[in-house]
A and B are shown apart, each in its own frame.
Chain A
Amino acid sequence: MAGSPTPIDPRGPRFNQAVLTVGLLCGFVFDWKAVVPVFAVVLLLGAAFGPRYGPFLRLYADLVKPRLSPPTELEDPRPPRFAATVGVVFLGAASVAFAAGASAVGWGLALVVAVLAGLAATTGICIGCEMWLLVARRRGLISGA
């Protein structure tokens, strides 16, 4: 596994997913469309530049993590970053749909992200991460795979 990125505390992405879920669902209930592009940018920052630049990942690292016990397991940061990238694509498409006046499509796409993020936050079942693993195994990104 030489050349692998520094492993991260898996609770960081889960915190991010929980905030994303709550934010998107509140946005949906109160019809705050602005929440969608805002979260797209939030996810984009973390996915493109790493956890240090994701606002909620940073919030977790600075405020929440110091109050918790050390993690029992660490994880590869690439699957959650890929999952965040998928989220950016969906939320980006939702933002475009809102701009085009297709609110139902926009909220549909945003709710897909909210449900998947909620599932990941509560169970650890991260569909985007599973997609990364499939792609990585096929492309040989994981040694020995």
Chain B
Amino acid sequence: MIPLRLLVVIVLAFVVLLVARLFRGWRGRVRTETPAVPLVPLSIRGAAERTWVIFTTPLCASCGPIEARLRATDPHANVVRIDAIEQPRLSHAFKVRSAPTVLLADGEGRVTARLVGAEAFERYVRNPA
């Protein structure tokens, strides 16, 4: 009886670890634009050649420092902070599932980078791909 149950547990643990691995890979990746990603609206990016869009939530502790850092390190870019909870349509459109999610858009509104989490942001800033 115990070996059978142990087998069930091993299978379940394997499934959970597999999902965890896939999720981590998906979350930490810097994503370039695909046809499924919409353009960042003109009302958000304005006339800037480059726009950083930071999706935040009221409890996101690292979002403020990220915004400050972007303003300091990329002064010519437009930096926009969006509360994902107050803008559910936008956050849904850009598939925002956690904060911070940072998008980099070019002058046409195309998303050229998508950084999920403070760690991914740090990695990108240190070594932009």
Interface residues of A (CB under 8 A from B): 1, 4, 7, 25, 28-31, 71-76, 111, 114-115, 118-119, 122-125, 137, 142-145
Check B12 against A114 for contact (C-beta < 8 Å).
Answer: yes
Check A1 against B12 for contact (C-beta < 8 Å).
Answer: no
Indicate which residue in A30, A75, A143 contacts B2 across the interface (CB closer than 8 Å).
A30
Tell me which of B5, B15, B58, B59 has the highest count of chain A C-beta atoms within 10 A of its own C-beta: B59
A residues within 8 A CB of B6?
29
Q: For the complex, give the distance between the alpha carbons of A25 and B88 in Å.
A: 37
Check B13 against A72 for contact (C-beta < 8 Å).
Answer: no
- Identify the closest chain A residue to B63 (Cβ): A73
Check B15 against A115 for contact (C-beta < 8 Å).
Answer: yes
Check A142 against B85 for contact (C-beta < 8 Å).
Answer: yes
Q: For the complex, give the distance between the alpha carbons of A75 and B58 in Å.
A: 9
- How many A-B residue pairs have C-beta atoms within 8 angstroms? Tell me: 66
Known contacts A1-B58, A73-B61; A143/B19 CB under 8 A: no
Q: For the complex, give the distance between the alpha carbons of A144 and B83 in Å.
A: 10
Check B23 against A111 for contact (C-beta < 8 Å).
Answer: no
Known contacts A25-B9, A125-B23, A145-B88; A71/B61 CB under 8 A: yes
Check A28 against B16 for contact (C-beta < 8 Å).
Answer: no
B125 contacts chain A at the CB level, 8 A cutoff:
no
Give B12 Cβ to nearest chain A Cβ, in Å: 6
Residue-wise interface mask of B (30-68) relative to A, using a CB-CB cutoff of 8 A (1 in contact, 0 not): 000000000000000000000000000011111000000
B118 contacts chain A at the CB level, 8 A cutoff:
yes
Interface residues of B (CB under 8 A from A): 1-2, 5-6, 8-9, 12-13, 15-17, 19-20, 23-24, 58-62, 83, 85-86, 88, 98-99, 118
Known contacts A28-B8, A28-B9; A119/B59 CB under 8 A: no
B residues within 8 A CB of A114?
12
Check B60 against A73 for contact (C-beta < 8 Å).
Answer: yes
Q: For the complex, give the distance between the alpha carbons of A74 and B62 in Å.
A: 9
Check A72 against B61 for contact (C-beta < 8 Å).
Answer: yes
Given contacts A31-B1, A144-B85, A145-B86, 14 further A-B contacts (CB under 8 A): A7-B59, A25-B13, A28-B5, A72-B62, A72-B118, A74-B61, A75-B59, A115-B12, A115-B16, A119-B20, A125-B23, A137-B88, A145-B85, A145-B88
Check B17 against A122 for contact (C-beta < 8 Å).
Answer: yes
